Structure 1
Amino acid sequence: MDTDPRLFVPTVDPLLTGPCGDPPGLARGFYQRLESGRGRAVRYGCSPGFRLQGPESNSCLENGTWARAAPICRPLFCQPPAQIEHGSLVAVEKSRYRVREKIYYLCQKGFTTEGSNEVTCTAQGTWSAGPVCQAPCAVGPYRSRVLYNGLKLWLSSLPGGMVRHRDELVFYCLDEEHMCSYPVKSQCVNGQLQVPACYKEPTWVRFTLFHWKVVSELEECEQEQS
């Protein structure tokens, strides 16, 4: 199996000299000297993207030989990535993926991608964190104007009656004492849009025949209400 030559990191510790000679080496890995009261010992490790198969350490025996053969560094792979809710994978389907290999997620139309849509097979054989597809919000009231993306518009003119995750709407509530309107913000959060408690949906008669009397069309109060 071909491997990335950049992952081959042989290491020889110059302090490892003596009757045993150099310890058994391993491809795509390294060893390092350990302090030992009775003699010389080494610990093995693998380069990123590989896992150790076999004993982790070795020691020099009194007869001048090493206690065991070197372990082997086997390539690490990631299993097929998980599907995400309201999204799909954009990747070539495989039974396993190499370290550093990337795949991409795509959220369904109208859903917002939160987090990176690119995930990578890491040197630990696991995938980096993937995204979450956050739902849009349906806007229930239709008989008023709101402030949306800097424009004051009728709710019925929103495309599909929906706003995207994290979008903000400004509703208008009535100050009954001064008969003026004041703005109250609400935000779409993963399919949930909380209409302000102070907002009152106009009747069909008022909306149809006297739309200039709808609260959103009244003059705004001089000072925003709390």
Structure 2
Amino acid sequence: MCVRYLGFVLLVWFPGVLHAQIAAQPCRAPNLNGGNFVPERDSYSEGTTLTYSCDSGLKPAVEGWWASSKCQNSTWFPEPQCIDEKACTPLTIPNAGHTENSNGWFEEGHRIRITCDEGYELKNLDATAICINGTWSSVPVCEKSLYACGEPPKIPHAVIIGHRYQEVFAADSKVQYECEDGFTVEGADSKKSIFCMSGIWTEGPTCIRNCGNPPSVPYGVLRTEQWFLKYSCSTFYKLEGPETVFCYDDGTWL
């Protein structure tokens, strides 16, 4: 009985130990052609960071003349590389994207075509960048479209659903609001959409408290003011009691 229990414990315990050993595998010294790094060791423990530089005529495959790499799960990230000094490191353009090279850098003379993000357009219709002598020339610029909209308006007691946050929306974009519990849009609906039209958002919803039908007052005249009501009396009648009632969060008029 005890032997069986001990065997069960070992079966449960050993996989965890093996997993910990695999997760903590060290990194071998990187094979850095045309460069040198510190500290120099045969192997490096998980989380170790090394710094490297490249020989004359070469440069790291990242920005700057020296770079660092970290040991993560037995792999160096990013991979230490020394490339031709006339090659180009990846290009970053605000509000735009482009096809990336599998090796992480681009040879001299390489051309990339830029695609602007939604709501942005190319300035001067120039969509190409060229790697020349280690730098990118004629770098395109993506600017906000004249017909795009900024972030949608904030509506009291409502949130935007089904759409991630962003600062710029392309023309004809649609976002949908939903009122919080206890509130509805006019017409007893809890949702309403708005649209980006020529750089301007269409009118947003108004979320009003959902209190149902207001109290009935014989010979009374009712005026609605979003979340409260104001009564007055018909000719030859006078009001007894408060002239204003409020809609409370529990859905009652008081």
TM-score (norm 2): 0.31
Q: Work out which structure has the larger RCO, using CA pairs closer than 8 Å and 6 or more positions apart in sequence.
A: 1
TM-score (norm 1): 0.34
